[in-house]
Structure 1
Amino acid sequence: MARKTGSHSEKTAPKVRDAALRLFAKQGFAAVSMRQIAREVGVQAGALYLYTPDKQTLLFDLMRTHMTDLLEDWAQEPRGNTPTEALQAFTRFHIRFNLARADAVFISYMELRNLTPDNFAEIERLRKRYEDSLEKILAEGDAVGEFSTPDTKLAMMAVIAMLTGVNTWYREGGRLSRDRVERIYWNMVRRAVGA
């Protein structure tokens, strides 16, 4: 099927991704059809297949992009010189990165069940890389006596769950600024690991 008059691949492809992201976050992957995405973008349903082979690939691409962006941005984040400074950097980074991408975070957690086994394995591999970086900080902190965690893997999962939970309640313009939320959460994380 021909492209809609006046449409351009470099403009339409991001619109397809943005529309899918919004719709998947709002209605759930299973409830969204390719026709709905096309309607949101303003193209015919058949035109979507110029940008993605199917809905599963679109979901996987959204989740993979989120995880690779997360890993790339975390790799560039200054971490300080001690495990405590690195943990503070991780805490603030995680909140800041995820609050700016609430729909992508929601999809990353809620739509894992809709991935094919191979796609699921790839997202889990990327997620594990990110989790491992936090677990390494915690293990280093335990080793030098800055932290006291009975189990670094469990502590890592608890910290990530606590930090990701901010997305469920935080609203821009609400009672607390992002910076204030980061500071409060840093103090809670610090206490949780015995720092």
Structure 2
Amino acid sequence: MARKQGSHSDITGPKVHDCALRLIARHGYAAVSMRQIAAEVGVQAGALYNYTSDKQSLLFDLMQSHMADLLNALKAARIEGDALTRLEAFTRFHIRFHLPRPDQVFVSYMELRNLSPENFAAVEAMRRTYEDALECILRDGEAEGVFAVPDTRVATMALIALLTGLSHWYREDGRLAMDVIETIYWDLVRKSVAV
């Protein structure tokens, strides 16, 4: 059978990931088959194995890629200064990074249970690196006397859940612009840890 037009690896590989991400975000990992992904991409099901070894590897690639992008962006953001300044910068960074990526956020948070133990451990280690960046800010804020939280780990997880939840309901064409929402969320975060 002849290769379909546009099925070059530099085009089809990313298309496989994009279609898989969209389908998994819409229907859930367990409900999506490799045949569905292939049909969405426009290739035969067997051709998918030129781009991924199996569905589990594809899910892992999606999550690992999202976390690598997040960690690289966080590093490039160079969040510096005193704890209050860093907490505001982290809050705004988290919102700006995650809002344009609702499918990645959904898959990365809701499909963890479907990873194999080895893949889960790898993604969890990356998530822990991100969480540790926020926890460090909270600890520094306590040391500076500007934050008071009963447990920095619990506060870290609660703040990330608050910030990440925004991507589930916010719409660009909604009542408030993103910069207004960002300011509201920063106010909520600041008040939740203030002395």
TM range (shorter): over 0.9
Given that 2:6 and 2:12 are in contact with CA atoms closer than 8 Å, whether structure 1 keeps it comes out as no
Could you list the runs of 5+ residues in structure 1 that have no partner in the other structure?
none
1:70 aligns with 2:77: no
The amino acid of 1:145's aligned partner reads: G
1:163 aligns with 2:163: yes
Structure 1 counterpart SS, 2:97: helix
1:15 aligns with 2:10: no
Matched pairs, number: 195
1:188 aligns with 2:188: yes
Given that 2:25 and 2:106 are in contact with CA atoms closer than 8 Å, whether structure 1 keeps it comes out as yes
More displaced 10-residue stretch of structure 1: 5-14 or 111-120: 5-14
- Alpha carbons of structure 1 residues 2 and 34: separation in structure 2 relative to 1, 3 Å: farther
The amino acid of 2:24's aligned partner reads: F
* Partner of residue 113, structure 2: 113
Deviations 1:152-171 (A, max 9, x none): 11111111111011012101
Shift of 1:31: 0.5
Q: TM-score, normalised by structure 2?
A: 0.97
How do 1:96-135 and structure 2 match up within 5 A?
96-135=96-135
The amino acid of 1:125's aligned partner reads: A
Same amino acid, percent of matched pairs: 62
Structure 2 counterpart SS, 1:165: helix
* Partner of residue 41, structure 2: 41
Deviations 1:170-195 (A, max 9, x none): 01110111111110000000000016
Deviations 1:108-160 (A, max 9, x none): 11101110000000010000000000000000000011211121111111111
Given that 1:138 and 1:152 are in contact with CA atoms closer than 8 Å, whether structure 2 keeps it comes out as yes
Shift of 1:56: 0.4
Given that 2:60 and 2:115 are in contact with CA atoms closer than 8 Å, whether structure 1 keeps it comes out as yes
1:82 aligns with 2:82: yes
Given that 2:79 and 2:89 are in contact with CA atoms closer than 8 Å, whether structure 1 keeps it comes out as yes
Let me know the Cα RMSD of the aligned residues.
Answer: 1.2
Shift of 1:2: 6.5
The amino acid of 1:91's aligned partner reads: T
Given that 1:2 and 1:47 are in contact with CA atoms closer than 8 Å, whether structure 2 keeps it comes out as no
Shift of 1:3: 3.9
Could you list the runs of 5+ residues in structure 2 that have no partner in the other structure?
none
Shift of 1:81: 1.3
Q: TM-score, normalised by structure 1?
A: 0.97
Shift of 1:79: 2.0
Shift of 1:4: 2.6
Partner Cα separation in structure 2 for residue 188 and residue 90 of structure 1: 14
Deviations 1:82-106 (A, max 9, x none): 1111000110111111111100000
